[in-house]
């Protein structure tokens, strides 16, 4: 992960800012806080997750035929909404400061209840999932993200193969992830249930760029037991612009 000085240089904040005494700190797993409004509006706005469910940016049918409208509606209004509601109950019971991003809770999830772990993870995972899909998705990444994928995995095709393997071989319910690790390199892995790589209890750690839901409720109405078909169809709706925006905010 880049130092604060490099972040500001790349964004040209140092040369354009007339403010003195800029203080930037790295908190949790890649979430930036700063005295500078510019930095807050840039990286933190991209990476930070609130404790409430945000409106879906597209219609339930917008991702068809790859993800059907009924699955999307049930997934968003029942499953994801349930995680958000239960998370709301947990933060009241455990007196969580919701002025801070959810990521700070997840980074110390071992200090909280199982209810917080399951619903905080479920809410975070789904909020990211909706953002990294789009009706105009598909294709290949460009720019710095594409370079990092080619450098880290040898080629885009090899990356796709490794990500699909992580998604297809996750036993039972869970998620497949592309993350930026502490070494600033990209890594692919998976987590069970609603765990994610931000959690201090996770064996696979990093700041997520993208995650694929491989719980059966994400695909069973259309694909039944054919998870591999669902995983392959995901590339038709992946929003590479959103994934790249997250990558650029971290590196």
Q: Quick one: average pLDDT of 98-116?
A: 97
Q: Which of 27-31, 158-162, 203-207, 208-212 has the lowest mean pLDDT?
A: 27-31
* CATH 1.10.287.990 given to domain 69-131: yes
- Binning pLDDT at 50, 70 and 90, where does residue 43 land? confident
- What pLDDT is attached to residue 36? 30
The dihedral of CA 215, 56, 144, 251: what is its sign?
negative
Residue 37 pLDDT greater than 50, yes or no: no
* CATH 3.30.1330.40 given to domain 143-250: no
Residue 14 pLDDT greater than 70, yes or no: no
Instruction: In whole angstroms, give the CA distance from residue 149 to residue 178.
Output: 10
**pTM for this one?**
0.84
Residue 40 pLDDT greater than 80, yes or no: no
- Binning pLDDT at 50, 70 and 90, where does residue 9 land? very low
3-state secondary structure of 179: strand
- What pLDDT is attached to residue 44? 76
Could you tell me what percent of the chain has a pLDDT over 70? Answer: 84
Write phi, then psi, for 72 (nearest 5 degrees).
-60, -45
pLDDT digits (tens, 9 = 90+) for 122-133: 999 999 999 999
Q: Which residues, at least 6 apart from 187, have a Cβ–Cβ distance to it below 8 Å?
A: 152, 178, 179, 180, 181, 204, 206
Q: What six digits make up the tokens of 58?
A: 């597209």
Instruction: In whole angstroms, give the CA distance from residue 68 to residue 63.
Output: 7
**CB under 8 A, 24+ apart: contacts of 86-94:** 86/115, 86/118, 86/119, 87/51, 87/116, 87/119, 87/120, 87/122, 87/123, 88/51, 88/52, 89/115, 90/115, 90/116, 90/119, 90/120, 91/51, 91/116
Q: Which of 22-36, 55-69, 93-107 has the lowest mean pLDDT?
A: 22-36
List the chain domain ranges. 4-47, 69-131, 143-250
- What pLDDT is attached to residue 59? 98
209 in Cβ contact with 176 (< 8 Å): no
Q: What is the DSSP letter of 215?
A: S
Q: pLDDT higher for 1 or 123?
A: 123
Residue 145 pLDDT greater than 50, yes or no: yes
Residue 151 pLDDT greater than 70, yes or no: yes
Instruction: In whole angstroms, give the CA distance from residue 250 to residue 44.
Output: 10
- Binning pLDDT at 50, 70 and 90, where does residue 48 land? very high
24 in Cβ contact with 36 (< 8 Å): yes
Could you tell me what percent of the chain has a pLDDT over 90? Answer: 81
Q: Which residues, at least 6 apart from 146, have a Cβ–Cβ distance to it below 8 Å?
A: 140, 156
Q: Quick one: average pLDDT of 212-241?
A: 97
First to last CA, the chain: 6
């Amino acid at each position: 992960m880049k130092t604060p000085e490099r972040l500001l240089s790349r964004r040209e904040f140092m040369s354009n800012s007339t403010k003195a005494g800029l203080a930037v700190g790295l908190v949790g797993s890649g979430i930036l806080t700063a005295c500078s409004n510019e930095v807050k509006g840039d990286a933190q706005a991209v990476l930070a997750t609130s404790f409430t469910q945000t409106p879906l940016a597209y219609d339930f049918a917008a991702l068809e035929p790859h993800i059907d409208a009924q699955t999307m509606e049930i997934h968003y209004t029942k499953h994801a909404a349930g995680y958000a509601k239960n998370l709301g109950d947990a933060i009241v019971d455990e007196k969580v400061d919701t002025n801070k991003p959810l990521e700070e809770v997840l980074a110390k999830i071992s200090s909280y209840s199982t209810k917080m772990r399951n619903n905080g993870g479920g809410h975070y995972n789904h909020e990211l999932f909706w953002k990294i899909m789009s009706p105009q998705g598909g294709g290949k990444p460009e720019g710095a993200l594409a370079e990092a994928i080619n450098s880290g995995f040898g080629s885009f095709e090899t990356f796709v193969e490794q990500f699909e393997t992580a998604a297809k071989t996750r036993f039972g319910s869970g998620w497949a992830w592309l993350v930026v690790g502490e070494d600033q390199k990209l890594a692919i892995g998976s987590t069970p249930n609603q765990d994610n790589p931000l959690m201090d209890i996770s064996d696979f750690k990093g700041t997520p760029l993208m995650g694929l839901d491989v719980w059966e409720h994400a695909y069973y109405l259309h694909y039944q037991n054919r998870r591999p078909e669902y995983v392959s169809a995901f590339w038709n709706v992946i929003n590479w612009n959103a994934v790249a925006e997250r990558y650029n905010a971290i590196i």
